[in-house]
């Protein structure tokens, strides 16, 4: 049975901790609502808990029930304890909470029943967050049965990165300021954008080594009971080495069989779906008018943060740029289910990004470090050869400097301007 004194002490401890905590703001606005349960999910260490704590700091502490189930003080809690905590909060503060924040809720067995029971009272604004090992995007839909609004949280955007570095950008930057922005952008791409490593250069390599281990052991092995660890590690290595490129499971299965190891192509597909669920692999399907054809296509694979690949493979600016653009587009479109992101490849032509809205093509985007005599046809011709779209379809070429000049019809923009939406 839940102990009132223990909960009162826990809440007092949390207030004290929160009052001393310095939190950097993210450029995401959470809108409290009693009509939907709001769920924050995404890759590990992207800053989900801190974003909620930032929201809590702005609220009246007597009206917020904040529970973090990673805390040892809450060990042994049941789903019933979660439900009962609201009435005990009422006893302690003389009123019910307006807002309920349940952090790492996946640690509570049967958590969905408790959350739904509270939601159905329609008296509370409920926020959930959890590590991707237990609060996966697909499980949210199943457990909360249409009652939730989901917000995916990626590592820092470039604008957030600059804010974390205390770098201010003027509305009309001059030459010296642009040089400084590009220098910061190179560090953003190569050193990474997870909030915990900004300004901690010596921790980068160790962070990313540990990050892979976290995904392997805590998110996948523990959650899904994976037994074929050699195959999983083989797949993770290939996801990283193939980022910004197509990832063929058929090819990987052939390579795996040639090594005379145990494991089937079906298992590789299954493990890749797990990596996608936990936010480690971001998969883009090929654009096609046929949904079935698109669904069966070989995906291109991206990473939530290009620093992960850079720290393991070394800097590769073209691939890092493309990865950053893909993540930024997924970030911008994540709250609108009518918008989808694809790549396109046909008869030797390739388009890095095809954006559709309500199944109509609205934007075509190419990404390259710079235009040269060797690559100009490869980068520009696909705009004319893409089979769909019309005169209203946006056509954008993103380069490092944005200083290239093309004929009318294709807008050229620098990577930093695109990421900052200038």
Domain 4-152 is found in CATH 3.10.20.30: no
What pLDDT score was predicted for residue 375?
92
Cα angle value 265/267/273 (rounded, 5°): 110
Q: What is the pLDDT of residue 138?
A: 67
What mean pLDDT do residues 178-182 have? 95
Give the per-residue pLDDT at 1. 64
> Among the listed ranges 17-31, 83-97, 200-214, 361-375, which one has the minimum average pLDDT value?
200-214
Measured from the Cβ of residue 66, the count of other Cβ atoms closer than 10 Å reads: 22
Per residue in 294-350, pLDDT tens?
999 999 999 999 999 998 889 999 999 999 999 999 999 987 889 999 999 999 999
What span, in angstroms and rounded, lies between the C-alpha atoms of 412 and 422?
13
Provide the terminal-to-terminal Cα distance of the chain, rounded to the nearest Å: 55
Residue 12, CB-side half-sphere exposure with 13 Å CA sphere = 8
The kind and range of the H/E element at 207 are helix 204-213
**Domain residue spans of the chain:** 4-152, 181-420
Which has more pLDDT, 214 or 41? 41
Reported as a single tens digit per residue, the pLDDT across 254-280 is: 999 998 888 899 999 999 999 998 889
Residue 44's pLDDT is 84
Comparing 185 with 113, the larger pLDDT belongs to 185
Closest alpha carbon to 383 in 414, 354, 403, 418: 354
pLDDT computed for residue 201 by the predictor: 63
Residue 282 CA to residue 273 CA, distance in Å, equals: 10
CA distances from 105 to 71, 129, 177, 359 (A): 11, 7, 44, 36
Cα separation, 320 vs 256, whole angstroms: 27
What is the reported pLDDT for 378? Answer: 93
Q: How far is residue 142's CA from residue 134's CA, in Å, rounded to a whole number?
A: 13
Dihedral through CA 343, CA 346, CA 350, CA 353, nearest 10? -20
Distance CA 129, CA 347 (A): 44
Phi-psi group of 45: left, alpha or beta (phi > 0 → left; psi -120 to 50 → alpha; rest → beta): left
SS3 state at 266: helix
What pLDDT does 408 receive? 75
Is a pLDDT exceeding 60 seen at residue 133? no
How confident is the model over 204-216, as a mean pLDDT? 81
């Amino acid at each position: 049975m839940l102990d009132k004194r223990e909960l009162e002490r826990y809440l007092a401890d949390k207030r004290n901790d929160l009052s001393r905590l310095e939190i950097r703001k993210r450029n995401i606005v959470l809108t409290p609502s009693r009509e939907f349960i709001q769920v924050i999910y995404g890759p590990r260490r992207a800053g989900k808990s801190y974003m909620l704590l930032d929201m809590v700091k702005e609220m009246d502490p007597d009206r917020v029930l904040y529970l973090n189930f990673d805390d040892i003080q809450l060990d042994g809690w049941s789903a019933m304890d979660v439900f009962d905590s609201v009435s005990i909060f009422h006893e302690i503060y003389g009123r019910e909470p307006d807002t309920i924040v349940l952090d790492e809720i996946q640690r509570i067995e049967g958590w969905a029943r408790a959350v739904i029971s509270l939601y159905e009272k329609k008296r509370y604004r409920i926020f959930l967050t959890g590590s991707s090992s237990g609060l996966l995007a697909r499980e949210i839909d199943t457990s909360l049965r249409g009652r939730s609004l989901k917000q995916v949280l990626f590592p820092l955007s470039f604008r957030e990165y600059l804010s974390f570095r205390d770098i201010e950008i003027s509305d009309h930057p001059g030459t010296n300021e642009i040089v400084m922005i590009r220098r910061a952008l190179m560090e953003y791409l190569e050193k990474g954008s997870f909030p915990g490593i900004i300004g901690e250069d010596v921790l980068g390599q160790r962070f990313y080594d540990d990050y892979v281990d976290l995904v392997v052991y805590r998110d996948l092995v523990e959650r899904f009971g994976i037994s074929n660890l050699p195959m999983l590690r083989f797949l993770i290595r290939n996801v990283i080495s193939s980022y910004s490129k197509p990832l063929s499971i058929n090819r990987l299965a052939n390579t795996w069989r040639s090594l005379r190891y145990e494991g089937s192509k079906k298992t590789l597909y299954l493990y890749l779906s797990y990596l996608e669920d936990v936010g480690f692999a971001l998969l883009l399907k090929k654009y096609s008018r046929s949904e079935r054809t698109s669904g069966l296509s070989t995906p291109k694979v991206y990473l939530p943060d290009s620093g992960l690949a850079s720290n393991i493979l070394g800097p590769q600016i073209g691939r890092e740029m493309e990865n950053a653009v893909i993540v930024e587009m997924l970030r911008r479109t994540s709250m609108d289910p009518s918008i989808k992101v694809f790549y396109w490849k046909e008869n030797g032509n390739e388009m890095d990004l095809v954006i559709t809205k309500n199944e109509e093509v609205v934007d075509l985007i190419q990404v390259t470090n710079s235009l040269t005599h060797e690559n100009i046809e490869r980068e520009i011709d696909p705009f004319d050869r893409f089979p769909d779209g019309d005169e209203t379809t946006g056509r954008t070429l993103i380069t490092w400097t944005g200083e290239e000049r093309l004929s009318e019809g294709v807008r050229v923009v620098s990577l930093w301007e695109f990421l900052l939406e200038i």
